[in-house]
Amino acid sequence: MDQTREALVKPTSNTAAFFAHLAERITKFSGTTLAFCLALGLVLLWALTGPLFQYSETWQLVINTGTTIITFLMVFLIQRAQNKDSLVLHLKLNELIAATKGASNRLINSQDFTEDEINILHQYYCLLAEKAQKENDLGRTHTVEEAEENHQEKVEAHHSKKAVAHHG
């Protein structure tokens, strides 16, 4: 491991590593057919026991409390999984931006930009899309700067042709 990476990697405590492993396993399991079938089976078992407990308030409270607790805990596990997936996706995109010649390094870690900065970039890319559409060449890509230069060159060339035609 190189020195830069060693400086970035923080040791994980045993408790954090255990929780991360447990959360990942529960999250993966909760998305399986078996988990769905178990949940469905519990609901059916609860429904079938209704007559046995005369559909009492306690019988109803069991399913309400159980589903509320499970839902409450799953919200946090799902959010944790989404945060991890999102971070990994951002890292992969950052790697592609950093490795691609001509890509704007300004976009690395753009997930940390303010909403105003994101809106400004969105406007630039809308402008870029308009310019690319006007060129009728879907195979050509640009950075915003290249698009600006190309557009300016075309405008100047067009004005030059008009001036020559007008004077000639």
- pLDDT of 57-113, one tens digit each? 999 999 999 999 999 999 999 999 999 999 999 999 999 989 988 888 888 889 899
Whether residues 102 and 117 share a domain: the answer is no
2 in a domain, yes or no? no
**Would you state the pLDDT for residue 142?**
60
Tell me the C-alpha distance between 40 and 14, whole Å.
35
Domain that holds residue 163: 113-168
Whether residues 19 and 101 share a domain: the answer is yes
To 10 degrees, the CA torsion angle through 61, 64, 69, 75?
A: -170
The domain tally of the chain equals 2
131 in a domain, yes or no? yes
97 in a domain, yes or no? yes
Tell me the C-alpha distance between 167 and 158, whole Å.
14
The answer to whether the beta carbons of residues 146 and 132 sit under 8 Å apart is no
Whether residues 102 and 33 share a domain: the answer is yes
Task: Enter the pTM of the model.
Answer: 0.62
85 in a domain, yes or no? yes
